[in-house]
């Protein structure tokens, strides 16, 4: 599902992912990484991800964490009572996200997910 975040009334970030109920989780992570942490789209998409709950129709209360997420973070989440399930790095269950940032001059910077086939190609 695609999303647009605007800045000063103009499109700033175009982003989206497939991934069922994981879509809003991934989209929130992408937006936060770009806006709050200053990441470029490729870095934001490439970072480790997580997904809580149902994916692809499979009911679960698990918190799936990619293996690249710090082990101490995983340990603390378990201690807090989460049903943590580590998954492989760049897991397809995390969805396939892509993003485009448009700066004030109209220059576009893209990011494509290593979890799937794709490319960021300018025009």
CA distance linking residue 56 with residue 76, whole number of Å = 27
65-121, pLDDT tens digit by residue? 999 999 999 999 999 999 999 999 999 889 899 999 998 888 888 999 999 988 877
pLDDT above 70: residue 123: no
Whole-prediction pTM value?
0.88
Right CATH for 2-112 from 3.40.605.10, 3.60.20.40, 1.10.287.130, 3.40.50.10260: 3.60.20.40
What tokens appear for 70 in the block? 């710090």
Alpha-carbon distances of 114 from 44, 46, 57, 94, 111, rounded to whole Å: 11, 7, 23, 11, 9
Reported as type and span, the H/E element at residue 74 is: helix 71-79
With beta carbons less than 8 A apart as the criterion, state whether 97 and 16 touch. yes
Structural domain boundaries in the chain: 2-112
């Amino acid at each position: 599902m695609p999303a647009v975040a605007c800045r000063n009334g103009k499109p700033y970030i175009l982003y989206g992912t497939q991934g069922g109920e994981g879509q809003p989780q991934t989209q929130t992570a992408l937006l936060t990484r770009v806006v709050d942490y200053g990441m470029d789209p490729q870095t934001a998409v490439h970072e480790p991800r997580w997904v809580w709950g149902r994916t692809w129709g499979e009911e679960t209360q698990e918190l799936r964490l990619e293996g690249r997420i710090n082990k101490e973070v995983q340990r603390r989440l378990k201690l807090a009572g989460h049903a943590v399930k580590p998954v492989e790095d760049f897991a397809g269950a995390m969805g396939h996200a892509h993003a485009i940032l448009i700066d004030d001059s109209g220059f576009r910077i893209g990011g494509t997910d290593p979890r799937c086939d794709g490319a960021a190609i300018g025009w």
